[in-house]
Amino acid sequence: MDVFILIGSFMLLLMFRVPIALSLILSSLVTGIYLGIDLAALVQRMVGGLNSFSLLAIPFFVLAGEIMNEGGISRRLINLSNVLIGKIRGGLAMVNVLASTFFGGISGSAIADTSSVGSVLIPMMKKQGYDSDYAVSVTISSSAQGVMIPPSHNMIIYSTAAGGVSVGALFMGGLLPGLLLGLGLMILTYMIAVKRNYPKGEVVKREEIPRIVWEGLLGLFTAVIIIGGIVSGFFTATESAAIGTLYAFIITFFVYRDIPFTRMGVILKRTFNTLSMVLFLIAASSSFGWLLALLKVPSMVSNSLISISPNDIVTILLIVVILLMLGMIMDMAPLILIATPILLPVAMNVGMDPVHFGVLMILCLSIGLVTPPVGTVLFVGSAIGRISIEKVSKAMIPFYIAMIIVLLIVAFVPAFVLLLPEIFGQ
């Protein structure tokens, strides 16, 4: 009955469109009252959930992404990508994927990627003769891929929810899957472009190439500072994020100089809005997760999944299916916080490393971002492309297939995820 009250009240509140963070808190309070728990203990759990040094990296990552996005980094990354692969047939679609790969290494946000890169490339692709549903599909699928490319604040959220898994190991673990997904999407876009006879990209003037490459690499060096500092052990994740933010500030306002310094107020406001949501979710999920552990929900779920089949492969497939289904109806950050305490013990029981499971989870949930009915990136891309979600969802079918193939590789080839963390000693 107590588990039913906790889960049932949470789902009921969601059905009435109560914000997720408030739903977590209210369901925890109702369950706490039913169990006779001192409510001060729940508040202490909420505060304790935020008392983590690694969480300090999130504000810096978000701020760095906002600064670079506002300062025109997306346009420069698009230009850099165009220099590299724009001359191929369907080159503008491949530029879209490569630009999202680059941008993911700076912002770590699929929505920010779709908004910035998509607002430039979707109209450009439509103007050059690409179908609208194809342009949007390429944009949103590649934006979801960008979530895997480090640095990613979602991996920091998972690290916290999983009890302190190495952020550096998660960053390195997500790199190869992210690049593989990007490569797979580029191959797919080229095949479709050849089949539909989409145009080749415009040739960049030779005298402009050095400037384009230089400006693009300056922006990408933000990610190099963050990832390199963590992998080398010279900085913690928080210190690397802070230094990367300082570098982004200098490049944007003193090198690019596309925007006045007065825009910093707008950037800070957007950063605070994002952080308020993220940190409120973390606090709310801490009390909810504590009650889940208290009521032994993880062990119940583990026993239930194992009872379906003792085969490890079947159990992993069930985990993947559960995460994909949850990703269709809920956003990534709250799902990481809610599902990790439940499914991580199950995954570890079948021999999965916490880093492997974390990368697998984030990949599953990134697919959920572009899947109806509640895929936030799908909605943003459809709005930018001015096309219905139904048409985009139909056009996304080959992209879903490519993403699922990469997902299965990640799920059943652990070495593909764990290779780089082992090489760099994370």
**CB of 368 within 8 A of CB of 326?**
yes
Please report, as a single letter, which amino acid is at residue 395. A
Structural contact between residues 64 and 271, judged by C-beta atoms closer than 8 angstroms: no
Residue 364: per-residue pLDDT = 92
- Looking at residue 77, what is its pLDDT? 80
381 vs 122: CA distance, rounded Å:
9
Compute CA distances 363 → 115, 163, 269, whole Å: 20, 20, 29
pTM higher than the cut 0.85 = no
In terms of Cα–Cα distance, which of 289, 296, 362, 377 is closest to 332?
362
pLDDT in tens, the chain (426 residues): 788 888 888 888 878 888 878 888 888 888 888 888 888 888 888 887 777 777 777 888 888 878 877 877 777 888 888 888 777 887 888 888 888 888 776 666 777 778 777 887 888 888 888 888 999 999 889 888 878 888 788 888 898 888 888 888 898 999 899 999 989 999 999 899 888 888 877 777 888 888 888 888 888 888 788 778 877 778 777 888 888 889 888 988 888 888 888 888 888 998 888 888 888 888 888 888 788 878 877 777 767 777 777 788 888 999 999 898 888 877 788 888 888 888 898 899 888 999 999 999 999 998 988 888 767 788 888 888 888 888 888 999 999 999 999 999 999 999 999 999 888 766
> Could you tell me if 364 and 320 are in contact, meaning their C-beta atoms sit under 8 angstroms apart?
yes
pLDDT of residue 426: 64
Q: Provide the pLDDT for residue 7.
A: 83
**Residue 78 has which token pair?**
């698009």
Q: Tell me what pLDDT residue 354 has.
A: 94
Exposure string of 273-295, with b = 16+ CB inside 10 Å and e = fewer, is ebeebbbbbbbbbbbbbbbbeeb
Report the C-alpha gap between 424 and 226 in whole angstroms. Answer: 15
Residues near 381 by beta carbon (within 8 Å), at least 6 away in sequence: 114, 118, 122, 136, 139, 140, 143, 370, 392
